[in-house]
């Protein structure tokens, strides 16, 4: 393999507890040299949800396991395994786990410098930064 190729093992990646029953594993990041996108897996415990937020770039999410309630533009969409979303930059949205089991989501941001802005507070943080947490 060339020095530009990386194999990332999910089991070896750090899991970040983002509070409120949400954990994220960052897989492809700028640490590996990503320049045009980043991705990873977010897991939501039963009943957990993310607050409404938006990004500075496109985001795609694929449901790996469980049932997701995806809320955007006043509508809620139920998603199951292998269903995907594409959310343009600047569109507020959120995911919730209405099920009794774990919800696992694979995410990709269309920028290596992706940010998340909370719709209610306007606070913006870099994806994967130490401040990328939910209020306890």
What are the CA-CA distances from residue 45 to residues 22, 111, 119 (Å)? Answer: 7, 27, 22
Tens of pLDDT along 119-128?
Answer: 999 999 999 8
Provide CB contacts within 8 A for 74, sequence distance 6+.
Answer: none
In angstroms, rounded to a whole number, what is the distance separating the alpha carbons of residues 101 and 97? 8
pTM: 0.94
CATH class of 10-121: mainly beta
Tens of pLDDT along 55-80?
Answer: 999 999 999 999 999 999 999 999 99
In angstroms, rounded to a whole number, what is the distance separating the alpha carbons of residues 19 and 108? 21
Provide CB contacts within 8 A for 33, sequence distance 6+.
Answer: 4, 6
Q: In the chain, what are the domain boundaries?
A: 10-121
Handedness of CA 66, 128, 75, 84 (dihedral sign): negative
Spans of the chain below 70 pLDDT: 1-2
Provide CB contacts within 8 A for 122, sequence distance 6+.
Answer: none
Answer for the pair 104, 64: CB distance below 8 angstroms, yes or no.
yes
């Amino acid at each position: 393999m060339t020095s530009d190729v990386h194999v990332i093992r999910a089991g070896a990646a750090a899991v970040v507890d983002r509070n409120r029953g949400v954990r994220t594993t960052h897989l492809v990041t700028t640490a590996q040299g990503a320049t045009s996108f980043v991705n990873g897996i977010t897991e939501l415990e039963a009943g957990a949800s993310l607050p409404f937020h938006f990004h500075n770039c496109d985001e795609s999410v694929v449901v790996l396991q469980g049932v997701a309630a995806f809320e955007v533009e006043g509508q809620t969409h139920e998603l199951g395994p292998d269903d995907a979303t594409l959310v343009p930059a600047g569109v507020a949205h959120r995911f919730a786990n209405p099920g009794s089991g774990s919800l696992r989501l694979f995410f990709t941001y269309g920028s290596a410098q992706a940010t998340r802005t909370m719709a209610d507070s306007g606070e913006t943080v870099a994806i994967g930064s130490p401040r990328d947490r939910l209020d306890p």
